[in-house]
């Protein structure tokens, strides 16, 4: 049984804060601060350029990739780190399209994160090959999979509502119709068990600043199934994905396997922070994590519904259909969230009316849930949110 009182001690949480926003930005792992200063001082400071070889900076994207891969059910050697998630979406979609050259439709849904859709729009336009991005309701995805579709591109867990797609079933249906799949795991990795290999996913991408606690702007990851690893053509054919970067050939030759999905120089300091953050997962059983996350979200929903009748559940009621976040709707959602944050309960807001709360058992307990609901119930009962200052929207909501 995973001991979540131990994992909580691995994080720095400011006094008086109940942090229910780890689905957006994970908190600082104590070990990450130490590791980053070691990387700065002992590696960059003392080794200078020698760090690339002596400190293993060059292998870092694949080494860290393997550790992330274990958390998402990937085979060893199939995940590599680098860039941001938007870039990884581009790479995965471009490579997937090349594997299905005879077809012109990319199928996605309107629960997808806008950046994924924007990236697809830009990529399809620049190809100039008559591709179409077809965006349907999440419930209509399954029926829309047919033999006109080249690529099915979905985010497994909806960033607003937490609704969870059935990756295994949709991938199987896609494959039966000759469709290649791209899964965005931004709200899945570290949030719930993911079985990429067992689901036979083709490509997957994800970020590491949310449930994996790598820090703001932490590098993203990309997974390529072993059956595609040597045929997937990198569209962003940068030198770090070349077979021999230091041969400085004038022509690109794709690197071996997943290495070809590297683009440029890896973000060594950010990867050091992430590498230390991943230590928090040693000894964590993903089944235990899922059970604890469901217990937290179920008790939150039950109490909020009992005590805050003006808030409407926006997430699926069935916990097996949700990721690790819970959302409620209210027309004054933004002001309510500001009132919560001022009182130490940190969640976030997504337009037009969604209050989001993330449940991360590594550092959130049932006592936190109880206390958060107390504060929320008081805000709602006494209309403490009804202040002009709480309605002023900041740049990041």
In whole angstroms, give the CA distance from residue 168 to residue 163: 15
**With contact defined as beta carbons under 8 Å apart, do 136 and 107 qualify?**
yes
Q: Is the peptide bond before 276 cis (omega within 30 degrees of 0)?
A: no
For residue 265, what are the contacts with CB-CB under 8 A and spacing of at least 6?
240
163: three-class secondary structure by DSSP:
strand
Which position among 203, 209, 211, 221 bears the catalytic label?
Answer: 209
Tell me the closest approach of the beta carbon of residue 54 to ligand PLP, in angstroms: 30
Q: Is 38 in the site for ligand PLP (CB under 6 A)?
A: no
Of 10 and 274, the one with the shorter C-beta distance to ligand PLP is 274
Q: Is 156 in the site for ligand PLP (CB under 6 A)?
A: no
Buried/exposed code over 21-57 (b: 16+ C-beta within 10 A; e: otherwise): bbbbbbbbbebbeebbeebeeebbeeeeeebbeebeb
Among the listed residues 7, 39, 91, 155, the single contact to ligand PLP using CB under 6 A: 155
Tell me the closest approach of the beta carbon of residue 142 to ligand PLP, in angstroms: 20
Q: Is 397 in the site for ligand PLP (CB under 6 A)?
A: no
Q: Is 148 in the site for ligand PLP (CB under 6 A)?
A: no
**With contact defined as beta carbons under 8 Å apart, do 376 and 308 qualify?**
yes
Tell me the closest approach of the beta carbon of residue 186 to ligand PLP, in angstroms: 3
Of 236 and 342, the one with the shorter C-beta distance to ligand PLP is 236
Q: Structure tokens of 101?
A: 């050259």
Tell me the closest approach of the beta carbon of residue 36 to ligand PLP, in angstroms: 19
Tell me the closest approach of the beta carbon of residue 88 to ligand PLP, in angstroms: 8
Q: Which stretch binds ligand PLP (CB under 6 A): 110-118, 235-243, 253-261, 304-312?
A: 110-118
Among the listed residues 113, 281, 349, 363, the single contact to ligand PLP using CB under 6 A: 113
Which position among 11, 19, 90, 113 bears the catalytic label?
Answer: 113
For residue 11, what are the contacts with CB-CB under 8 A and spacing of at least 6?
27, 28, 29, 30, 213, 280, 362, 363
Residues 261-290 that bind ligand PLP (CB under 6 A): none
Pairing of strands 28-29, 325-329: unpaired
Q: Is 186 in the site for ligand PLP (CB under 6 A)?
A: yes
DSSP 223-263: EE-TTTTTTPPPSS--GGGBS-GGG--SS--B-SGGGGG--
From the list 285, 69, 275, 290, the residue with the least C-alpha distance to 191 is 290
- Build a one-symbol-per-residue string for 51-90: x at contacts with ligand PLP by CB under 6 A, - elsewhere: ---------------------------------xxx----
Active site residue 184: yes
Active site residue 209: yes
From the list 61, 57, 77, the residue with the least C-alpha distance to 262 is 61
Among the listed residues 159, 281, 334, 363, the single contact to ligand PLP using CB under 6 A: 159
Of 220 and 296, the one with the shorter C-beta distance to ligand PLP is 220
- Build a one-symbol-per-residue string for 208-227: x at contacts with ligand PLP by CB under 6 A, - elsewhere: ------------x-------
Q: Is 365 in the site for ligand PLP (CB under 6 A)?
A: no
Active site residue 50: no
Among the listed residues 184, 202, 275, 348, the single contact to ligand PLP using CB under 6 A: 184
Tell me the closest approach of the beta carbon of residue 3 to ligand PLP, in angstroms: 30
- Cβ neighbour number for residue 252 with a 10 Å cutoff: 14
Q: What's the longest Cα–Cα distance across the chain?
A: 69
Tell me the closest approach of the beta carbon of residue 352 to ligand PLP, in angstroms: 18
DSSP 310-341: T-EE-S-SSGGGB-SEEEEE-TTHHHHHHHHH
Buried/exposed code over 267-281 (b: 16+ C-beta within 10 A; e: otherwise): bbbbbbbbbbbbebb
| Burial tier of 14 (Cβ tally within 10 Å: 0-12, 13-18, 19+) | exposed
Of 51 and 219, the one with the shorter C-beta distance to ligand PLP is 219
Q: Is 325 in the site for ligand PLP (CB under 6 A)?
A: no
**With contact defined as beta carbons under 8 Å apart, do 85 and 207 qualify?**
yes
Of 202 and 348, the one with the shorter C-beta distance to ligand PLP is 348
In whole angstroms, give the CA distance from residue 237 to residue 260: 8
Of 85 and 196, the one with the shorter C-beta distance to ligand PLP is 85
Torsion angles phi and psi, residue 325, rounded to 5: -130, 160
Tell me the closest approach of the beta carbon of residue 111 to ligand PLP, in angstroms: 10
The residues binding ligand PLP (CB under 6 A) are 84-86, 113, 115-116, 155, 159, 184, 186-187, 207, 220
Active site residues: 113, 184, 209-210, 356
């Amino acid at each position: 049984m995973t001991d979540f009182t131990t994992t909580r001690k691995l994080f720095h949480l400011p006094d008086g804060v109940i942090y229910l926003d780890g689905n957006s930005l994970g908190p600082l792992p104590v070990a990450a601060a130490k590791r980053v200063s070691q990387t700065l001082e002992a590696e960059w400071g003392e080794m200078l350029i020698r760090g690339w070889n002596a400190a293993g900076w060059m292998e870092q994207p694949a080494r860290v990739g393997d550790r992330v891969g274990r958390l998402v059910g990937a085979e060893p050697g199939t995940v590599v780190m680098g860039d941001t998630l938007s870039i990884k979406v581009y790479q995965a979609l471009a490579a997937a399209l090349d594997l299905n050259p005879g077809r012109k439709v990319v199928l996605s849904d309107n629960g997808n994160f806008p950046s994924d859709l924007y990236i697809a729009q830009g990529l399809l336009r620049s190809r100039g090959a008559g591709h179409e991005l077809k965006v349907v309701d999440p419930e209509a995805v399954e029926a829309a999979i047919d033999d006109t579709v080249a690529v099915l591109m979905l985010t497994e867990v909806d960033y607003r509502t937490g609704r969870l797609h059935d990756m295994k079933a949709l991938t199987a249906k896609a494959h039966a119709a000759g469709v290649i799949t791209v899964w965005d795991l931004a709200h899945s990795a570290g949030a719930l068990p993911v079985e990429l290999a067992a689901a036979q996913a083709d490509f997957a991408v994800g970020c590491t600043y949310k449930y994996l606690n790598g820090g703001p702007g932490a590098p993203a990851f990309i997974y390529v199934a072993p059956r595609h690893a040597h045929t997937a053509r990198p569209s962003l054919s940068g030198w770090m994905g070349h077979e021999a970067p230091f041969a400085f050939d004038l022509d690109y030759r794709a690197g071996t396997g997943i290495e070809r999905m590297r683009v440029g120089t890896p973000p060594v300091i950010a990867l050091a922070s992430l590498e230390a953050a991943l230590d928090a997962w040693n000894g964590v059983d993903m089944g235990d994590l899922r059970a604890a996350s469901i217990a937290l979200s179920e008790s939150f929903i039950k109490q909020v519904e009992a005590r805050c009748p003006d808030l409407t559940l926006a997430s699926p009621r069935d916990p097996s259909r949700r990721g690790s976040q819970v959302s409620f709707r209210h027309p004054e959602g933004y002001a309510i969230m500001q009132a919560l944050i001022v009182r130490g309960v940190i969640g976030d807001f997504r337009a037009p009316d969604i209050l989001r709360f993330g449940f991360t058992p590594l550092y959130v307990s049932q006592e936190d849930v109880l206390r958060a609901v107390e504060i929320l119930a008081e805000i709602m009962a006494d209309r403490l949110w009804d202040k002009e200052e709480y309605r002023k929207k900041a740049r990041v909501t």
